[in-house]
Amino acid sequence: MKLTGSQIFWTVSTVEIIMAVWLRVSPAIETAKQDAWISIIIAGAIGLAITYLVTHVSLLHPGETLTQFSRKLLGGWIGRIVILPYFVAWFLLSGDVLRSFADFIHLTILDRTPIWILMVMILALAVYLTGISGITGIGRFCELAGPVTFITLILTFLLNAMNTKLLHILPIVGDSSWQEVFKASLPPASFFGESFMLLVLLAFISSNKKVLAKALSSVAFTAIMVLLATVMVLLVFGPYVGMELRFSYFMLVRSINILNFIQNVDVLVIFIWIFGVFAKISLYLFITSYEMAQWLHVKNWKKLMWFCAPAIFFIGLLIPNEETILMIQKFWERIVIPICAIAVPLLLWLMTIIKNKNYQKKIKYKT
């Protein structure tokens, strides 16, 4: 199983863009009002820093996934315990995404379909793709779906150009303080910080060349698209309406009306939403199964898919209401990102440096 550099780029951005554009624009506007776009820029910078950290750590251990090198560095037991938060995070995230997806489709198109059927359908597809081809298939899928997503997003922004009112974005940092602007940057930053999945993904790269640049540019690309979406929502709806909308980007698309002719493009946009969710669920299905196989010393990781897929399904099913989804997002922002994206990678980095020094000392003693 191999991934090329461009597949890394498209995988990370496809998986991140859709969710961030769909779910993170309104929360940012809610806190920072018309300055939400500054918050997104700050969030992008935080995301880049996290990505740099995890890519760097991961590249120190070529060909090894997170579980492999943490066990190598920290020893069998501690190495295993350190990985546990990652499993919690990944399972919760995929369950949450699966549920949000089903809820949204239920709300907009298939209102008489039980939610679990929608979840089973997309999960079955994800099992199929992951089971047949593993990470290579997911990478290829993202290479196709990513550009489609990108073009669709840009197109919807352009088609909305007539609806914009530039004045909506003023005054800059007048109503909200810098404090609020920074505070508003945390929710989107937590979504960009999702790039800590690179700790696993980078084990599969075909060559080490320019991987860092590819990883960083994918997060930058995601941040730019979210930035554009935020600016467009602000320009079309203004801050006060924008913050009340649950899916503000979707509403943006629904207000497209060019010459009474180009209307109702929202149907097309649901496609990219499904693409993004599908890529995300497949990817996390792969990551959790593969890492769990490493964790349990099981040779064939595909067997663990039969545990992970139902686990994701039940987590999605058991989420009782919108409040829980918001709580999971809070949990992700307050606990998962600090531990999984910052603390553990830093620890592993430190251990790598210490081990390398010891190793060099040993070589010196020998010579």
Which residues form the interface with another protein (CB under 8 A)? 107-113, 117, 121, 124, 163, 165, 167-168, 170-171, 174-175, 236-238, 240-241, 244-245, 251, 254-255, 257, 260, 263-264
Shortest gap between Cβ of 240 and another protein (angstroms)? 4
The 10 Å Cβ neighbour count of residue 113 is 13
Query: Considering beta carbons, is residue 322 or 354 the nearer one to another protein?
Result: 322
CA distance 24 to 297: 38
Query: Considering beta carbons, is residue 6 or 163 the nearer one to another protein?
Result: 163
Query: Cα-flanking dihedrals φ and ψ of residue 172, to 5°?
Result: -85, 125
* DSSP string covering 60-90: TSTT--HHHHHHHHH-HHHHHHHHHHHHHHH
Shortest gap between Cβ of 141 and another protein (angstroms)? 18
Shortest gap between Cβ of 113 and another protein (angstroms)? 6
Query: Considering beta carbons, is residue 173 or 347 the nearer one to another protein?
Result: 173
CA distance 140 to 204: 13
CA distance 187 to 20: 9
Query: Considering beta carbons, is residue 125 or 347 the nearer one to another protein?
Result: 125
CA distance 227 to 38: 9
CA distance 105 to 103: 6
Give the bridge partners for 258, in sequence order: 262
Query: Considering beta carbons, is residue 168 or 280 the nearer one to another protein?
Result: 168
Shortest gap between Cβ of 97 and another protein (angstroms)? 20
Shortest gap between Cβ of 108 and another protein (angstroms)? 5
Question: Under a CB-based contact definition with an 8 Å cutoff, are residues 342 and 192 in contact?
Answer: no
* DSSP string covering 253-273: HHT--BTTTB--THHHHHHHH
Query: Considering beta carbons, is residue 10 or 250 the nearer one to another protein?
Result: 250
Spell out the residues 6+ positions from residue 150 whose beta carbon is closer than 8 angstroms to its own.
17, 225
Query: Considering beta carbons, is residue 251 or 337 the nearer one to another protein?
Result: 251
